[in-house]
Amino acid sequence: MPDQLSQQALDVRAALAQALGAADATLTEARSQHIAAVERRDRVAAAAERQRVQLALARDNRLRDIDHRHHDELAALAGAAAAAGQTGAPGAAGDRWDSWQPTPGMPGDTAPELRIGRLLLPFDGEIPALVPLLDRGHVVVRGDERLGDEVVAGLLLRALGSAPPGTVRLTGYDPENLGGGLAGFAPLAGAGVLTFVGPGGLPALLDELVEHVRRINETVLAGEHTSLRELAAATGRRPEPWRVAVLLNPGALGRHERQQLERLLRTGAACGVHLVVRGVGVRAVPGIEVIEAAAGDQARSSGAGDLPIRLDPGPPATVLTLTSRRIADEVAAGPAPVALASLLPAAEWQETSELGLTAPLGDSPQGTEVRVTLADYPPHALIAGPSGTGKTNLIYAWMGALSARYSPTELAFYLLDFKEGVSFARFAPGRRDPSWLPHVRLVGVNVNTDREFGLALLRFLGSELRRRADAAKRHEVTNLAELRAEDPDGHWPRIVAVVDEFQVLLAGRDAVASEAVDLLEDLARRGRSQGIHLVLASQDVSGIEALWGRPALVAQFSLRIALPRARRVLAETNLAAESLPRYHAVVNADSGAHPANKVVRVPSAGDRNSWNELQHRLWRRRPHDLPAPRLFDGDAIPRLEDSPDYRKLQAGVTLPSPVVLLGETIDVTARSARTELRRAPGRNLAVLGTRVDEACAVLGTAARSLATQFEPGAVRFSVACLDTDASGAVDTLKADLNPADTGFYDASNVDWLLEDTADAAGQEPGDRPHFLFLYAVDAVPSLGGSVLRILRQGPERRIHVLGWWRGAALLRDTLGGQASRTDPIGAWVALDVHGSELAPYFPSAGAPAWYPRPWRALHFDRSVHRGAEVIIPYGVS
């Protein structure tokens, strides 16, 4: 038993020893693991610390990167916002007041937004606070009244300065201050850019604006466009101005006024009608910008959300006043015209005038062409406009448009300008420019003292009318279109006769005015059917008694064109011309009745470079057999060498009788006044007057024209100078006459000549004609007997006297006194002799209507003339 116990104790001890050893080993292992764990823990902790440091560093770097990027993005955003502000509100719409200037832009571009101040954002930078107005909507200003007035003034000035002058029209309603809130804009009122409405006028103003919106929708937009902004973008033109109504504290609104205001707020912007309102409660809805005016950083705008705004101060008073005056002056001067090229077709000379002449005269306010027609109806045009309103420019534009569409075989112009100037001279060849407008057949300039030339033009047109009427009868037709169809080989262009300042022709109650009115009435009545159209222009047609005394004549001019401030050319109740701007006209094809009005903006056609380009192009295309037009210049002295009649004279050509050329007639053709010296009683010529140069010019022309018709030795000339003032002209004449055929005399020996010639006048005719040129016959009274015998008997013996008497009474003395007959003088040329003095030499009852004019003469030949004709003596070559 003990052994067992001992053994058990040993076993226990061995087990315990073994367990203790195992435990020690386990402890040692645990301690080793603990140490490793601690080391591992330390390493992890160290790594974690390092990671934490690295993460913190990375975080800091990342935060720095984010800050930098955010800063850059904010800077870019600020730059973009600033650029957007400059783009959305360029120039006058957004510049600060210290550097502000008007910068008119638009018409077809988008209207800019307008600056009211500066947006306050959490970063530096100039970000403008912009408000839409023109073409976009309306503005309501609330809050501080003083600051609100400054906001309104700034908005209006920026709108005015951003648009072309006159395209923004203001209407002010300020019942409390009686317009004082808009006092700085007062200079605009005189130009019609600003209109003040008095207290109580708000209902009428709102009704007018609503009616304006209705008209724009019906007649301008007409369903083709949704707004004027869209129309302007499509056409590049703005047909209507912006109308901005400024309502300052209008007070309580009635039901009707509130309804009209809401209509305008809803529909006005699309039609260019905008409201700027202060003191009226209006809901902030799309299209209405609400500005809360407050000091410091407290201002707000509905378009900027909750962002604070620092409002700009109002525009300086000097800037406001000077700008208003400048705009008013520019509006009064009128808009600059567009170019002549806008009237020209893509292809020239492609149209026929068979049924009429149609061409654009310019653009309407809606941007569409305004075309003008001359045909059976309307047949003739009446143009009126005070000096400086563009009457000549309108005529140029109309002629340019017609000339580019119709060839010279389709259209012929006859141009006459009665005022002192050369407006039409550019259409004829000149010294510096040999070109001419191929359609022009006649140009008359500086004819204000030569009313006879206007009468000659009417006579010519009358003869052309008879020629066409006779041709129509032969072909059994009634109008030009039918005549051209029946006679396609005939030359039947439509004729347009333009007479500027035509009232000069009709002035007074003399024979010229009386005949001119009769001819005008006949041409106006019958010319329409034969393609002859009259265009009469004047600064003022209201005082032309001869015109308005013939209502049947006036009625034929159904096409009326009125320039700014023209009087009476339109119907009495039609006042459209009174408010026209410069370069505009009212075209009315219904005798001036108001419903037929068409407002047209006339292009600039007076620029010589633009016109020359067109004229040279058409001139190069002219038919090669087309003659240059006849140019009659009342200030020019014609030359004998340029006379077609003189160039036809040839020596040795047998003529029925010698022809004496005396001067150029005031006629459509460059015809020379002439007298034939036949073998018949009275075939002598007397020049009457005291003007030495003109008398010598007439006698010199007569001598040169006669000398051209004879071979040497076939004629005899005797020239007697009895006035030393004429000696220079006689000396000049010597070089043009054959010395072998000519004898020269003076007071010392002329009696021999006259006595021998008087004896020869009583004998048989000589072998050759004998022409006596006597300068100042009355200077030697003792020669009167011999001269009278030659005058009476000489012509039948081929002896003719061409003499100068220094007065009509002095010629009567030569003829035998007051009771003597004047038959020996068959032709005469009167210079500074009044018509009453010529009665004895004039066959009709009374005396010719003649009032002397410089370098003009009255010619009468009893063998061919029923009345005397005015001539221009040829000058010395």
**Mean pLDDT value across residues 33-60:** 83
Comparing 334 with 826, the larger pLDDT belongs to 826
Token pair of 21 as six digits:
């050893």
| Closest-CA residue to 788 (of 825, 827, 839) | 825
Beta bridge partners of 850: none
Residue 179: its H or E element: none
Residue 567: its H or E element: none
**Mean pLDDT value across residues 645-670:** 88
Q: Could you give the angle at which helices 750-761 and 784-793 cross, rounded to 10 degrees?
A: 30
b/e string for 805-834 if b means 16 or more Cβ within 10 A? bbebebbbbbbeeeeeebebbbbbbbbbbe
Q: Which amino acid is at 527?
A: G
Report the Cα 212 to chain-centroid distance in Å. 29
Separation between Cα atoms, residue 103 and residue 100, nearest integer Å: 9
Token pair of 160 as six digits:
């005015």
pLDDT score, position 446: 87
pLDDT digit string, tens, across residues 289-331: 999 999 988 899 988 888 899 999 999 999 999 999 998 888 8
pLDDT score, position 73: 63
Map 686-748 to HEC letters: EEECCCHHHHHHHHHHHHHHHHCCCCCCCCEEEEEECCHHHHHHHHHHHCCCCHHHEEEECCC
Query: At residue 700, what are phi and psi to the nearest 5 degrees?
Result: -65, -40
pLDDT score, position 109: 63
pLDDT score, position 383: 95
Beta-carbon contacts of residue 700 (< 8 Å; ≥ 6 apart): 729, 732, 733, 736, 876
CA distances, 827 to each of 556, 660, 678 (Å): 42, 11, 12
Cβ atoms within 10 Å, residue 419? 18
Helix intervals (H) in 475-559: 480-486, 511-526, 545-548, 551-555
pLDDT score, position 75: 58
pLDDT digit string, tens, across residues 815-871: 998 888 999 999 999 999 999 999 999 987 788 888 899 999 999 999 998 889 999
Q: Could you give the angle at which helices 145-162 and 317-333 cross, rounded to 10 degrees?
A: 40
**Three-state SS at 299:** strand
Assign 106 a pLDDT band (cuts: 50, 70, 90): low
pLDDT digit string, tens, across residues 169-226: 999 998 888 777 788 898 998 888 899 998 889 999 999 999 999 999 988 888 888 9
Q: What is the DSSP letter of 220?
A: I
- Residue 146 burial (CB < 10 Å; 0-12/13-18/19+)? exposed
pLDDT digit string, tens, across residues 686-731: 999 999 999 999 999 999 999 999 999 999 999 999 999 999 999 9
Assign 8 a pLDDT band (cuts: 50, 70, 90): confident
CA distances, 610 to each of 338, 339, 350, 408, 613 (Å): 12, 8, 21, 20, 5
Report the chain's mean pLDDT, rounded to a whole number: 88
- Residue 421 burial (CB < 10 Å; 0-12/13-18/19+)? middle
Beta-carbon contacts of residue 681 (< 8 Å; ≥ 6 apart): 792, 795, 796, 823, 824, 826
Least confident of 64-73, 98-107, 666-675, 712-721: 64-73
